[in-house]
Amino acid sequence: MIEVDSLIVDYPGHRALKNISFNIKAGTVTSIVGPNGAGKTTLLMCLAAIMRPLSGTIKINGIDTVKDPRKCHRNVGYLPDFFGLYETMTVQQYIKYFAFARGITNNNINEIVTDTAVKLNLHSKFNENISALSRGMRQRLAIAQAIIHTPRVLLLDEPSSGLDPDARHSLSNLLKELNGKGSTILVSSHILSELQDYSTDLIILKKGEIIEKKVLQQFNPEKRRIIIKTTTNVDNISSFLSQSDNIEVAQIKDNIITIDFTGTEQGQFELLKDLINKNLNICEYTVEKSTLQDEYLKHLKTNAAPKNDEHRQTA
């Protein structure tokens, strides 16, 4: 669905994106994360065909964003980090305006506008002026203009900004629903715990370069840490653990066993059953699953700054 090849973007005196390339499959939800200034917003603006790169190519659903940006816009919905709204319009007028702007002129336009408002819990505000809306409601309205035309690709830059916990939960469910209907979604956010809820893929940017791109295994992590606390000393269990399947590292200290486990949930159940059968007096059993934040921090720390001469590149 998205093909990026050798993308370079320069600002005066600064190279924002440094020869990056990646592909994104249709029907995925990709999180774009990285420190401030990593190039996340610049990348999304290029994908949305509202910024022209210095060099390189981007294709959205086979459409070259530089050669045919208008055609690309019909396939893309975009929510910028900082957006403006028409303050004197009502919510209904604003959504309908963007429906027309997106080329929706059929007889079902009122139904489409109403359905979009309901999806974002805006229907109760239908006749209110935008100037009277809270920050969270304004954010939802901005999302409405991005999804009104049911785009093949949805690009969201910090969509949870300003939303309360209930609204963030609703947004998460909305993105799952849109993805379930076939939308390919890219989300840039600093709230990694929310991204974990719906993301299938991860791109980590640092200083304009991709330092990691991977498929996430949210519901069956590659590794989880199991901490077992007993009421008695457990030194005699070490030989059993060393011979057990799916245990990568086992540490025993006094009455606490720490295990790095690489198996499935069924394998985890079998391990617990075997330990109980060994007559261990288990009083606590804790599983710490790998999170998106763990992945992010791990790669951010292990990847050193780019070795190429940045001043030579931007000269």
Give the strand pairing for 76-79 and 153-157: parallel
Say if CB 31 and CB 203 are below 8 A apart: yes
Among 192, 215, 238, the domain boundary falls at 215
Residue 151 lies in a domain: yes
Measured CA to CA in angstroms, residue 190 lies from 3, 59, 148, 196, 270 at distances of 24, 26, 25, 11, 37
Say if CB 242 and CB 250 are below 8 A apart: yes
Residues 245 and 201 in one domain: no
What's the CA dihedral at 39, 43, 49, 51 to 10 degrees?
20
Residues 111 and 191 in one domain: yes
- When pLDDT is cut at 50, 70 and 90, the band that residue 302 belongs to is low
What is the structure's pLDDT at 315? 33
56: left (phi over 0), alpha (psi -120 to 50) or beta: left
Q: What is the CATH number of the domain that holds 172?
A: 3.40.50.300
For the stretch 195-207, pLDDT in tens is 877 888 889 898 9
What is the structure's pLDDT at 220? 43
Domain count, the chain: 2
> Residue 266, Cα to own-chain centre: how many angstroms?
28
Residues 130 and 241 in one domain: no
3-state secondary structure the chain: CEEEEEEEEEECCEEEEEEEEEEECCCCEEEEECCCCCCHHHHHHHHCCCCCCCEEEEEECCEECCCCHHHHHCCEEEECCCCCCCCCCEHHHHHHHHHHHCCCCCCCHHHHHHHHHHHCCCHHHCCCEHHHCCHHHHHHHHHHHHHCCCCCEEEEECCCCCCCHHHHHHHHHHHHHHHHCCCEEEEECCCHHHHHHHCCEEEEEECCEEEEEEECCCCCCCCEEEEEEECCCCHHHHHHHHCCCCEEEEEEECCEEEEEECCCHHHHHHHHHHHHHCCCCEEEEEEEECCHHHHHHHHHHHCCCCCCCHHHHHC
Q: Whole-angstrom Cα distance, residue 282 to residue 104?
A: 62
Buried b (16+ CB within 10 A) or exposed e, 185-210: bbbbbebbebbbebbbbbbbbbbbbb
For the stretch 28-54, pLDDT in tens is 999 998 888 899 999 999 999 999 999
Residues 188 and 240 in one domain: no
Residue 314 lies in a domain: no
Residues 62 and 128 in one domain: yes
Residues 211 and 257 in one domain: no
Instruction: Tell me what the pLDDT averaged over the chain comes to.
Output: 84
Among 78-87, 118-127, 298-307, name the one with the lowest average pLDDT. 298-307
Residue 148 lies in a domain: yes
* Token reading at 142: 């901005």
Q: With a cut of 90, say whether residue 292 has pLDDT above it.
A: no
Residue 37 lies in a domain: yes
Residues 267 and 179 in one domain: no
Residues 79 and 209 in one domain: yes
Residue 304 lies in a domain: no
Residues 186 and 233 in one domain: no
Residue 236 lies in a domain: yes
Among 189, 215, 241, the domain boundary falls at 215
Say if CB 77 and CB 151 are below 8 A apart: yes
Residue 165 lies in a domain: yes
Structural domain that includes position 279 = 224-289
Sign of CA dihedral 115, 118, 120, 125: positive
> Residue 297, Cα to own-chain centre: how many angstroms?
15
Q: What is the CATH number of the domain that holds 263?
A: 3.30.70.2470
Q: Whole-angstrom Cα distance, residue 215 to residue 197?
A: 14
For the stretch 216-273, pLDDT in tens is 654 444 567 888 888 877 767 877 787 777 787 788 888 888 888 887 778 888 888 8
